[in-house]
Chains A and B, each alone.
Chain A
Amino acid sequence: MERSKAMLVDITKCIGCRACEQACKEIHGFPKESETHLSTTAYTVVEDHGDRYVRRLCMNCQDPACASACLVGALKKTSLGPVTYDKSKCMGCRYCLVACPFNVPRYQWSKLAPYVTKCDMCYERQAKGQPPACVEACPAEASIIGWRDEILEEAQRRVLNDNKYVKQIYGSHEAGGTSVFFISDVAFEKLGFIAAPKHALPTLTANALGDVPTVVMVGGAMLSGLYWITQRRALVAMADAQKKKERS
């Protein structure tokens, strides 16, 4: 994989102005009203947790469960980092919603032709070299974007050099690593972060799927063998019966 982009959200820097929300809504043409939870018209929201503000958005996992779940490959991890959604492929099974360890994707339940919605870190803008709309709008530099390795280094530097930070980078190990990192001075559990598994989820199904050829080969061979034995037995039994008949 070539060098990919990642985002760092520093919760200590967020001032709760919701400029990121507004920029996101504007670029997607959604109604301007601020929402409290992620929705089909809010790919990012700023949550109030006492005196801390926490941005929610798709984590754009390195090895996304949603992309491995999607049977038609509508969800894809791009080499640039964002996990994109191709609505022309989607058939609306919603397995991605079941699979996501962060409960991010949203579904258009009230539409007659409903699609899945989620943040894709402004993939189209990033492909043109522009930052995501939310990052561009942030006046406090609470959200920054950069090459993933450099962003991770930056996060480590902040966490190690300043004692106020919790010694954890949320997203460095969650679900096997993500393209969005959070650092905070308040424990992540208290801010509503999910204690996601610390490994990539698709490996779980990859193991099971890896068994398919074995099952087909061994199972097929075993069943054929059993059938051969069954046939052979029937033939022997028939021959025996024939002999008995001849003797008598």
Chain B
Amino acid sequence: MLESSEKQEARGLKPLSSATDSGMAKAMPSHSDRAMSSEADRAMPSRAHAMDRGGEGEDEASLFSVRRWIAQITLWRVIVALIFVAGAYATYARFALGFAASTNLTDPQPWGLWVGLGTLCGVGLSAGGFAIAAAVYLLGFERYRPLLRTAVTVSFLGYLSVMVGMMYELGLPWRIWHPIVMWNRHSVLFEVSWCVMLYSTVLALEFSPALVEKIPWKRAREWYLKWHHEILIGLVLVGTVLSSLHQSFLGGLYLLTEGKLDPLWYSPYLPSLFYLSAIPAGLAATMIAIYLSVRSLDVKVDLGILSEVSQVIAPMLIIYALFRGVDLFTHGGSKYLLTWREETISFWVEIALFVFAPVILLSREKIRNNPLYLYWTCCLVVMGFMANRLNVSITGLQASSRIYYVPKWTEFALTLATITAAVLAFRYAVMYLEILPKSPQRPRWMVKSAAADA
């Protein structure tokens, strides 16, 4: 998956001067050096570039295409390419050299960044899909319908990334199918793996109409969509139950770490806490995706919907905070709240990012009604959520493991490459599929799609 995105990016599948590109890619002049172009060069409009072409003469077709190719190299594309190169090296290191060469994992810290950020956050931030689907289809909140496809796409890509991550994370990835035939129903991880497998299937089915719509054969298309419509409610129902189970069981994984995990995070109610925190975080991730689509892609959404969702996020965060507070005071974590330890500092950073800052910000009408402010508030929620999962999986276990784990650069590189691939995939999905309503004026290459015919 990584490789193909990289190739697409390098070839510049995206047309050069499409309106959709305004936010992300500023056309660079062809005569400047790729990486070292000055600010002034970058600001030069593409019209100047076109004039440049005219001056060179039309018959130099090959030179012209090279120049066009170079012109597509922008700062962001260079960064993306570098991330993928680093990710490719990390892949090589992981599979050709092993864990010891690609990670800083050790026996006392057997789960690191790939589990903490990749799996725990990847699944958690994908909770928006089931939450919005349940809200629209089961609870009848029709006003959230415009968010539905975005939420499902974000979740689907999230789960795909988690599965790609799994292949790196498992010591013997070619045995990833083992849980299908080898059962241990006493294992929380067994439940998680089954729920994730089943829910990914559900998500794929929920996402599928966006792809099927593009099938040029009308009858096949309609047959599938009709069939899909009939099972949709069932899918949403099953998806909601499966999600609720494994979102909480990811927390349940750490029930066994009693005595190892710091009391600020260990609780018999870890499953509930994971569930309660995943929903607002998943919604925040969906909002970020929508805001960025509107800002940088040719998408038209009434951003008022974001304000409505934010009014749901705030009470969810408060409920989570109350639950967490009561839990800390009833299970003995409270005496560590004000001690000068690294764990306590991490705890307060997490709470400040995930609860205090967003709740205070969202209580202000000025913030709620401004998409940009909302976007940044959602970023805080997501960061706070990631802090929580990393605290549970890394910080909270550090003292008992008696080692100080800092991920190796290849661990960061791979995580970053996976996230980048997911973001790129989302970008292309929004551009080529009907995920979000597009502005009426469509770029040339879109017109021939099946949906446009239909």
Instruction: Give chain A's interface residues, CB within 8 Å of chain B.
Output: 65, 67-74, 89-95, 97-99, 101, 103, 105-107, 109-115, 194-197, 201-202, 204-209, 212, 215-216, 219-220, 223-224, 226-227, 229-230, 233-234
Using CB atoms, name the residue of chain B closest to A206. B186
- Nearest CB on B from A235, distance (A): 11
Contact with A along B86-129 (1 / 0, CB 8 A): 00000000011011110001111011000000000000000000
Interface size on B, residues (CB 8 A): 56
- Nearest CB on A from B195, distance (A): 10
A204-B258, A215-B244, A224-B237 as given contacts; A68 in contact with B98, CB under 8 Å: no
Q: Top 4 nearest A-B pairs by Cβ distance?
A: A92-B171, A230-B140, A97-B110, A71-B190
Using CB atoms, name the residue of chain A closest to B251. A208
Chain A residues whose CB sits within 8 angstroms of the CB of B192 once the complex forms: 71
Using CB atoms, name the residue of chain A closest to B172. A92
- Nearest CB on B from A196, distance (A): 6
Instruction: Give chain B's interface residues, CB within 8 Å of chain A.
Output: 95-96, 98-101, 105-108, 110-111, 134, 137-140, 169-173, 175-176, 178-179, 182-193, 233, 237, 240-241, 244-245, 249, 252-253, 255-260, 268, 271, 401
A91-B178, A208-B249, A223-B138 as given contacts; A101 in contact with B260, CB under 8 Å: yes
What separation, in Å, do the CA atoms of A206 and B184 have in the docked complex?
12
Main secondary structure of the interface of B (DSSP, over half): helix
Task: Please determine whether A106 and B175 come into contact, CB atoms closer than 8 angstroms.
Answer: no
What separation, in Å, do the CA atoms of A201 and B106 have in the docked complex?
23
Using CB atoms, name the residue of chain A closest to B101. A110
A68-B186, A114-B171, A223-B134 as given contacts; A204 in contact with B256, CB under 8 Å: yes
Option from A71, A91, A114, A227 in Cβ contact (under 8 Å) with B99 = A114
Q: List 9 A-B contacts (CB under 8 A).
A: A69-B256, A71-B184, A91-B175, A91-B178, A101-B258, A110-B98, A197-B259, A212-B191, A233-B140
Supplied contacts A68-B186, A69-B256, A106-B107, 14 more A-B pairs, CB within 8 Å: A68-B256, A70-B189, A91-B175, A93-B189, A110-B98, A113-B171, A201-B256, A207-B268, A208-B271, A212-B191, A215-B245, A219-B244, A220-B241, A233-B140
What separation, in Å, do the CA atoms of A89 and B182 have in the docked complex?
8
Task: Please determine whether A205 and B110 come into contact, CB atoms closer than 8 angstroms.
Answer: no
